[in-house]
Every structure is written in structure tokens, then in C-alpha cells.
Amino acid sequence: MNNLEKKYGFWTATAMVVGIVIGSGVFFKADDVLKASNGSLTTALTAWLIGGAIMIVTAYVFSNIATRIERVNGVVDYFEQAYGRNAGYMVAWFMTFIYYPTLVAVLAWVSANYTQVLLGWEQGVWPIAALYMTAFFLLNYFSPVLAGRWQVTATVIKLIPLALVAVVGTVAGMGSGMTVQNFTQAAQTVADSGGGLAVATLSTAFAYEGWIIATVINAELKDAKRTLPRALVVGTIAVVVIYMTYYLGISGVLTNDQVLAEGDGAPVQVIALIFSKVSGTLLTVFVIISCLGTLNGLIMGSARGMFSIASRDMGPRPDLFKRVNAAYNSTTSSALMGFVLSAFWLMVWYGNFKGWWGGFMDISELPIAFLYVIYISLYFWVTKTFTDLGGFSRRVCPLLAGAGSLYIIWGAIQKDMFVHFLLLSLLILGAGLLLKNDRKNTRR
């Protein structure tokens, strides 16, 4: 059995967009964005706004593509339609071996970080990360329907801490004058070498990333050509509104210097200051659920990675990787491969903290910038091919999305170990070329 059932609707697709995007990034990138902005709240909010605008325009362009193509794996299908089987295969290889597993590894670590704080296990972060990763791969293997329901539930739950911080913090900040102070006075504990607006926008890119993974369940959506475009647009707009109000909420309770000092714990500290430590602890639970919702969504994509390659009769052992378990209606060998690759990248992420590489290879941001190179190629295709669209949808939006993509890429080039990650990625893609084995073309 090689067919996946039409089991997901609009709310699951929208929950994937919102649930994958809103996860760890908004919590553990808040201080990174402010630091890259040289302590300026105005610059930081501008970076969040630019990153959000890029996401919305990009999702709108992809929504127009989604109305035309409905196959097995979203962006891979789009690229294959635009540039042929070999190009589509290389994108699938990148998504399967680099994009999905790197983000799965980082999200497992972030989820474990907050859990470690909650439980007080100082040395427990890496075992917990491995446990979370394993548990959610098993969930997606044995019950993809339950995994979809968890996605919707986690999305609703994760909005609670964001709403609390946004509403309570903003009201408190307006009353105390803290918000105005933060806009007029930059943090003093950061030197003028944070990187500037481009690097700050790149940091927001991680927090805004993930919506494209909703396209991976394209073949499993009911009325996909109508459902997916609506989910992409509605979901991304909702995310930007939530993020901006959340960030304003933090600035209403903590000074810019305090945000930098608290780091990833800033949102928990906001609630603890206003209510009590008990409320702060409860918020930490919500944050963990939020991160696990994002982790689940990424694993939904990672579990289908090799399946998307094998379904085209390409890559190693397509007969094995395109099998669908009849009992669970889940990708079997593909999910196992996704787990192995995620474990590899978790080891790479671990090596960063142990100083194995002599620098910090930021796999939370660099793979995203590489994905934007793929996006730019698709924008050219839309402009050239979609002649039935109006000028705004066919030319203006792809142009704006392309400019935003270039801006993200420029920020990535300035990151430490960019060249190292580029070389590693080229090696992985080179291996993909060697293992391509296009059986359909061979039979012709």
C-alpha cells in the first residue's frame, strides 16, 4: 500500500502553519533579535515586522502555486513542476537530509531546555532532547491522525502564554511608562556590534519559519487546492499579529537590559514578576507544550522526507521508502530515516556547545537561509508562467518576496561558520546526486 488517505482538514492545516511557526523561536530568539539590534527596541520590532512581512508575502505567492499543484510534498512538487525531476529531487534531498532534521534537532533541544529548568535537572537537557525526539517520531509512526490532533491542541494551548504576556505586559507597560522608556533608551549591556537590522531579521526568520512544512501534508488534505492556500494566508497573518503584540508585552515589563540578561527565560520572568512564581512555573509548562507542538509539526515533515523522494522512484531503495503501513497509514521506513538524520544533527548541535567545531555552526538559522534560495527560483517561475494572474499576484508579490529572501540570505552570509555549513551542505547534496538512481527515466 503506497497511498496516504485524505485525513486532514482546514483547521489541521492552519494549526500546522500557526503551530509550527509559533513554537520555540518567539521564546528563545527574543533576546537574540534585541542583541543583533544593538539593544534598540525600535530596530528589534522593525526586524520582527520585516521578517513577518516577508513570511506573509512568501506564503501568498505559495498559496497561488498550491491552487495548481496537488501531489505528495508541497515545495518539492512545486520545484519539480518548475524545473524538472532532477531539480525537484535535489530539493527533496535538501529538505530530507538538512532542513527538516536540523530544525527537529534544535526544537528537541529547546523543548528539553525549558523542561530542564522546570524540573531542576542541570545535566538533563540532552537526554530529555533525545527522549522528546524519539517519542514524537513514534507518535507520528503509530498514529499520524493522533499526531494531527495534537498539532491542533498544542496550537491552542501555546497561544495562552503569548496572550498573557501580550495583554498583561502591554497594559502594565503603558501604565508604568516602561514601554516608552524602552523605545527611547537602548540597552547599555550590548556593544554596537550586534550585526544590525539584517542579522536581526535573520534571527526572526527562525521564529517565523515552518509554515512551508504545512505543504508536506498536501496529499493528505481534504480539498487541498482550496484548503492549503487559505491555511497559508490565514495562518501567517495570525502569526505576525501575535508576535508583535507579544514582543510589546515583554517590553512593558522588562527593560531592554533585563531582556538580554534573562535570555530565553524572559517570558517566564514577565509573568512571575506580575503574578507569582507559581504563575511563572505554569507558564513554563505552556511554553514546553508550545515547543513540543512545533517539534511535532517538524517531525510530521521529517517522517515524510524519504517518502517524497521514493514516491518519484528516485533515490536509494524507493521500494522500501515509499511503503505505507496499512495498519497505521503512516510512512514507515521514511519515518525511521528521518529519526536517524535528526539524531545526527542533534549530535552536531551538541558539538557546538562542546566546542568541537572551533566555532558555532548555527543550524537553527543557516538551513532556513538556504531554503530562501529555493524560494527565489520559484518566484521567477511564477512570474514567467502564471500568466492568468493579475499584475499584483504575478509580478509585485514575487518581486517583494524575492527582495525579502535576498535580505535573509545576506544576513546568513554574515553569520559565523557560514562557509563551513555551505561546504557541509554541498557534500550532502553531492551524495544525493550520486544516489539519485532515477528509475522512471531509466525505464524509458
Check residue 8 and give its pLDDT: 67
What's the CA gap between 262 and 376, in Å, rounded? 37
Cβ–Cβ under 8 Å, residues 48 and 243? yes
The CA distances from residue 275 to 272, 289, 304, in Å, are: 5, 21, 43
Average pLDDT over residues 18-47: 79
417: which 3 cell numbers? 561558520
Backbone angles phi, psi at 10, to 5 degrees: -60, -40
**Mean pLDDT across the stretch 27-53?**
84
Asked if residue 181 has pLDDT above 70, the reply is: yes
What is the SS3 assignment for 319? helix
How confident is the model over 387-418, as pLDDT tens digits? Answer: 888 888 899 989 998 998 898 888 888 888 88
Cβ-based neighbours of 292, under 8 Å, separated by 6 or more: 111, 132, 136, 154
pLDDT confidence band for 195 (50 / 70 / 90): low
Mean pLDDT of 177-204: 76
355/347 Cα distance (integer angstroms): 12
pLDDT of the residue at 2: 46
- The strand pair at 324-325 and 330-331 is best described as antiparallel
Dump the DSSP string for 291-315.
Answer: HHHHHHHHHHHHTTHHHHHHTTT-S
Average of pLDDT values for 194-220? 72
Compute the distance between CA of residue 185 and CA of residue 150 in angstroms, rounded to an integer. Answer: 42
pLDDT at 1: 41
pLDDT at 424: 93
Dihedral pair phi/psi, residue 174, rounded to 5°? -65, -35
Quote the CA–CA distance of 79 and 82 in Å, as a whole number.
Answer: 5
Residue pLDDT, tens place only, 237-271: 888 888 888 888 888 888 888 888 877 677 767 76
Q: What was the pLDDT predicted at 274?
A: 67
Segment 196-205 shows an average pLDDT of 80
At the fourth CATH level, which superfamily is domain 10-437? Answer: Amino acid/polyamine transporter I (1.20.1740.10)
When comparing pLDDT for 265 and 433, which is higher?
Answer: 433
pLDDT the model gives residue 330: 67
For the ranges 100-109, 251-260, 270-279, 283-292, the lowest mean pLDDT is seen at: 270-279
Q: What is the mean pLDDT of residues 79-100?
A: 91
* Helix spans in 311-444 (H): 318-321, 333-354, 366-385, 391, 397-413, 418-434, 439-443
With residue 324 as reference, give the H or E element that holds it.
strand 324-325
Which residues sit opposite 324 in a β-bridge?
A: 331
